[in-house]
């Protein structure tokens, strides 16, 4: 049975989540975000449900910590928060969260998303070592509708041969884009292929990219 770790300082919410999910999953919960990392390393959950606004450590800090460590970075994190999605959803997705659910929770949608991330394991997106390093990028190419696009975005999840980022361009697996880094001027890096895509609503698209060849100018050279 898959394990779900719930991190929420509200005992009533933890109890409700447990009630709704326990018939399907083994549920472990904590109201202390400062214990979240140790608990995740101990129980090795298959998915984490994380509140954002908690004392001592916020959900943002917990999410960033879990996503930065090799032993926990492959665990899908779903945000369950009383904060409006319009305010924090894109930011959380940029940190690697696999979904965002506002309270009161639509449990049918939550159960569907949990089943999706557990069945795919996020397609094991991190096939090689990743580094949390903020890089500003410009992507240029043709989207899934055949329309040309040029977009400035950023990534905080990079490897020697690829990166992931969130943007508004409509992408699909197999598309080729030109990648440039922006900082002290613009430097062309290399062309990259879209290797996976996850869409969030009608505006945002989280995607993973793999360079076609060793990049000429890249942050991990």
Kindly indicate the confidence band of residue 202, based on its pLDDT and cuts at 50, 70 and 90.
low
Cα–Cα distance measured from residue 11 to residue 207, given in angstroms and rounded to the nearest whole number: 35
Check if 3-124 and 135-211 are the same fold: no
CATH assignment of 135-211? Answer: 2.30.110.10
Kindly indicate the confidence band of residue 108, based on its pLDDT and cuts at 50, 70 and 90.
very high
Q: Measured between alpha carbons, how far is residue 146 from residues 17, 153, 170, 171, 186 in Å? A: 43, 20, 10, 10, 25
Q: Which two tokens stand for residue 188?
A: 């062309």
Kindly indicate the confidence band of residue 130, based on its pLDDT and cuts at 50, 70 and 90.
low
Cα–Cα distance measured from residue 20 to residue 6, given in angstroms and rounded to the nearest whole number: 12
Is residue 52 a contact partner of residue 64, using CB atoms and an 8 Å limit?
no
pLDDT digits (tens, 9 = 90+) for 40-88: 989 999 999 999 998 878 888 888 888 777 678 788 999 999 888 888 8
**For the chain, domain boundaries:** 3-124, 135-211
The single residue listed with the structure tokens 């190419």 is 141
CATH assignment of 3-124? Answer: 3.40.50.2300
Please tell me which of 57-71, 118-132, 142-156 the model is most confident about, judged by mean pLDDT.
142-156
Q: Measured between alpha carbons, how far is residue 204 from residues 18, 29, 138, 168, 179 in Å? A: 30, 30, 16, 5, 19
Cα–Cα distance measured from residue 86 to residue 41, given in angstroms and rounded to the nearest whole number: 31
Pairing relationship of beta strands 3-7 and 47-50 according to DSSP bridges: parallel
Is residue 28 a contact partner of residue 38, using CB atoms and an 8 Å limit?
no
Which residues are paired to 84 by β-bridges? Answer: none
């Amino acid at each position: 049975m898959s394990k779900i770790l719930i991190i929420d300082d509200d005992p009533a919410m933890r109890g409700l989540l447990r009630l709704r999910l326990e018939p399907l999953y083994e549920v472990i919960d904590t109201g202390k975000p400062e214990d979240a990392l140790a608990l995740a390393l101990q129980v090795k959950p298959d998915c984490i449900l994380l509140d954002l606004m908690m004392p001592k450590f916020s959900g943002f800090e917990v999410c960033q910590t879990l996503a930065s460590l090799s032993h926990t970075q492959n665990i899908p994190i779903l945000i369950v928060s009383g904060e409006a999605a319009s305010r924090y959803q894109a930011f959380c997705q940029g940190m690697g969260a696999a979904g965002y659910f506002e309270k009161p929770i639509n449990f049918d949608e939550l159960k569907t998303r949990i089943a999706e991330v557990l069945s795919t394991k996020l397609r094991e997106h991190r096939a090689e070592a990743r580094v949390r390093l903020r890089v500003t990028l410009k992507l240029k190419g043709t989207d899934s509708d055949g329309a040309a696009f040029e977009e400035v975005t950023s990534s905080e999840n990079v490897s020697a041969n690829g990166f992931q980022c969130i943007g508004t361009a409509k992408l699909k697996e197999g598309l080729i884009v030109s990648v440039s880094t922006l900082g002290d001027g613009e430097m062309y890096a290399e062309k990259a292929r879209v290797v996976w895509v996850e869409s969030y609503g009608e505006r945002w698209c989280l995607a993973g990219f793999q360079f076609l060849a060793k990049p000429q100018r890249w942050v991990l050279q």
